[in-house]
Amino acid sequence: MTHVAGGVLIIDKEEGMTSAAVVSRVRVLLGEKRVGHTGTLDPFATGVLPVCFGRATAAAQYMLHWNKRYLCSISLGMSTDTMDSTGMTVEQTPETNWRRFASDDPHIQRELEAVTCSFIGKRIQEVPIYSAVKVDGKRLYRYAREGSEVDLPKREITVYDAICRGVSIDNETGFPAILVEFLVSAGTYIRVLAEEFGRALGCFAHAQRLRRLAAGPLTIERSITLNSLFELFNALGRDPKRLRRRIREEGIVSSLGSVFADWRTVIFDRASAIDLTYGRKVSLTAGRLVSPFREFKSQVVDDELFAFYYGEQLIAIGFIEGEYYRVKRVFLEPADMKSFEGMSS
């Protein structure tokens, strides 16, 4: 498939690195100025961080609201000021309260499963003060560092699924750690869920480890680490052009056409597709509306928007206005259509 509009890399982010640092390194590797991620992943977390480059960066705004799947190790026994393993201890639970969760007693397992299931559904979540959300033009973590008081914003989030994956013992603290897999709406803070999970068990708790398994249809199985990219970069003489060509040949880059394949899709012939690249409206009779190729429970699509395709190539994101299809965001230029001569629509 042609990638004239850039593409998407699914980076498996390592622990301790910021999302901005990942973008900076990808920019160097690809020799591309237009690079951006599709939603911050906390430095202590690992896993799926989709990174768009080239003209594909224009699609990042439509990927921000995808649901996310995480695997979180929730350490019982103490809470921290950041709600994760990077923070300072705030409160501790007496050992008599948390020790029982280190048992393999079937009653304890049933209790853990019941609490896990109780998290499924809509809930109001308060944004943690150690976050990048802005209040009155200033990021919340700055208020935290200053010791200033601030009203924390609240938002409605949805936990679509929650599964208890077992219990282990934290080698450093001796605390039991509950492994829980969450499928959540965009904007959900798993750190907050971890603290609430502990509270439901009568314990203080924090997110010990966090790994993002998927962002929309982009999964960890299709990801690549920055170290692997740098090794390939060095093997290719540190040439960004050769690297871009190689990662496309090896299927490491996802095209926008594949990324948005589960949106409601409208297929156009060549003439109509060219009109759309110019931003012209196209009659409803010119497009063929098809069902999504796949259904991902992890993706939310704006009901008013459609993905406009020519063959397997994503042309634009658009909507219906009266008797016409209109574009909201175009990802190709008219000249790009020359790359698809002879392509069947």
Rounded CA separation 272/270 (Å): 6
105 is catalytic: no
Bridge partners for 326 per DSSP: 319
C-alpha to C-alpha distances, 250 to 1, 103, 112, 254, 281, nearest whole angstrom: 12, 46, 43, 10, 37
Rounded CA separation 265/307 (Å): 5
268: closest CA among 303, 316, 302? Answer: 316
86: closest CA among 171, 210, 175? Answer: 210
Both structure tokens of 67: 């649901």
Rounded CA separation 343/321 (Å): 28
Diameter of the chain measured on Cα atoms: 73
Of 42, 84, 262, 275, catalytic: 42
170 near 75, Cβ under 8 Å?
yes
345: closest CA among 274, 247, 248? Answer: 274
C-alpha to C-alpha distances, 193 to 42, 102, 134, 183, nearest whole angstrom: 15, 20, 21, 12
Both structure tokens of 245: 């060509």
CB-based contacts of 41, cutoff 8 Å, min separation 6: 13, 19, 47, 48, 49, 212
299 near 66, Cβ under 8 Å?
yes
Both structure tokens of 114: 């019941």
Catalytic center residues: 42
